[in-house]
């Protein structure tokens, strides 16, 4: 059994990790920590766990490194780089759900986030987008688990960029997120009366996931890519829908483009390509590790419109983290993740 620990287990992504590890047939949750609820029974925070006897512990990452085969960090951005060092990595593996190890360009990270405190180990981190970097993830000591917006956006556009079918300077991504994407902390913008019956764009031309999407698509293209990315907050609990636009370089049929997506994703367990004229909806992926992708070609403008959908807490956070764990420990990638989406919910 893989002995797993979770730091930050009482946030939304942390709770989803607890749920998945608890039900994982080859993993055992041996330690979970919470800064806000240390010493409390876990079911005092989430009553859905009243049948289990988990206790929120004070964080001691040095102790955890000695008893855990893998530690998940479900922490705010800018915290993980203060905690991880070579001594920790010599004893355990790290899967970080924050942004601290996602960007390899340190100047870009510090421009969009904050000071990085583990520059010496940053080059060792691998970007844990499983369907693209699977072979790079194997054998690593530290995995940077991608976020929800980035996973949906990159997976949606990757085949087109990789095959050079679009004008890379024309990429526009318009994405919507459920409220859990903002985390569990109290915020006026997330109060029911502020959020309900409204849709709003935020952090226009300044969202911190922009350089992450750009960096990964640039690797695929072999050239620097700059995009427009605009996120929106919508009044639902969970889900990401990314609508992506780009100019095609030539005249392609639906079958031409579908063949390209099949080339990259046709055998992927957790990517589902929709049929022609059918476009993903967040309710189709809720409570699952699936990313659904569909597209249409606008013959009038010779643009392609790609729609991607995923559950931000599952494939966009905890589910992908477990998928990364499975790869790290060389077990079947879908172990503990074969959940059929919940409907209705």
The residues annotated as belonging to the active site are 148
**Residue 42 is encoded by which pair of tokens?**
């876990």
Task: Using the structure block, give the residue that is written with the tokens 């608890």.
Answer: 22
> Which residues of the chain form beta strands (DSSP E)?
2-7, 27-33, 70-73, 93-96, 126-127, 142-144, 172-177, 200-201, 228-233, 240-247, 271-273, 291-298, 303-310
* Helix, strand, coil percent content, the chain, rounded in steps of 5: 35, 20, 45
DSSP assignments along 161-195, one per residue: HHTT-B-GGG-EEEEEE-GGGG-SS--GGGSHHHH
Rounded Cα distance between 180 and 13, Å, is 9
Task: Using the structure block, give the residue that is written with the tokens 């405190």.
Answer: 117
Rounded Cα distance between 320 and 156, Å, is 16
End-to-end CA distance of the chain: 33
Which residue in 94, 150, 148, 162 sits closest to 126, CA to CA? 94
**Residue 325 is encoded by which pair of tokens?**
């764990």
Identify the sign of the CA torsion 154, 149, 247, 228: negative
Let me know: does 172 contact 244? Beta carbons within 8 Å.
yes
């Amino acid at each position: 059994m893989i002995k797993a620990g979770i730091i930050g287990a009482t946030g939304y992504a942390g709770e989803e990790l607890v749920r998945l590890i608890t039900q994982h047939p080859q993993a055992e949750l041996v330690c979970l920590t919470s800064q806000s609820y240390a010493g409390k029974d876990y079911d005092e925070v989430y009553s859905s766990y009243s049948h289990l006897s988990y206790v929120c512990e004070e964080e001691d990452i040095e102790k955890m490194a000695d008893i855990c085969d893998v530690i998940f960090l479900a922490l705010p951005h800018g915290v993980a780089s203060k905690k991880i060092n070579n001594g920790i990595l010599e004893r355990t593996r790290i899967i970080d759900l924050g942004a601290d190890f996602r960007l390899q360009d340190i100047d870009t990270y510090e421009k969009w986030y904050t000071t990085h405190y583990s520059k010496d180990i940053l080059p060792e981190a691998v970007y844990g987008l499983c369907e693209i970097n699977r072979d790079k993830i194997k054998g690593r000591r530290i995995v940077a688990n991608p976020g929800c917006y980035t996973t949906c956006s990159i997976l949606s556009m990757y085949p087109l960029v990789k095959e050079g079918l679009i004008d890379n300077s024309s990429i526009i991504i318009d994405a919507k997120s459920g409220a859990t994407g903002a985390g569990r902390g109290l915020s006026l913008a997330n109060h029911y009366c502020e959020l309900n019956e409204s849709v709003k764009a935020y952090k226009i031309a300044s969202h911190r996931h922009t350089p992450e999407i750009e960096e990964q698509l640039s690797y695929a293209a072999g050239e620097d890519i700059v995009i427009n990315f605009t996120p929106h907050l919508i009044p639902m609990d969970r889900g990401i829908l990314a609508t992506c636009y780009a100019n095609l370089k030539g005249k392609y049929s639906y079958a031409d483009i579908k063949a390209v997506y099949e080339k990259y994703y046709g055998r992927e367990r957790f990517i589902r390509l929709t049929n022609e004229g059918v476009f993903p909806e967040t309710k189709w992926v809720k409570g699952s590790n699936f990313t659904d992708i569909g597209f249409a070609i606008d013959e009038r403008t010779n643009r392609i419109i790609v729609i991607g959908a995923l559950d931000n807490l599952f494939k966009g956070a905890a589910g992908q983290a477990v998928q990364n764990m499975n790869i790290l420990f060389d077990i079947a990638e879908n172990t503990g993740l074969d959940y059929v989406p919940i409907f209705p919910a």
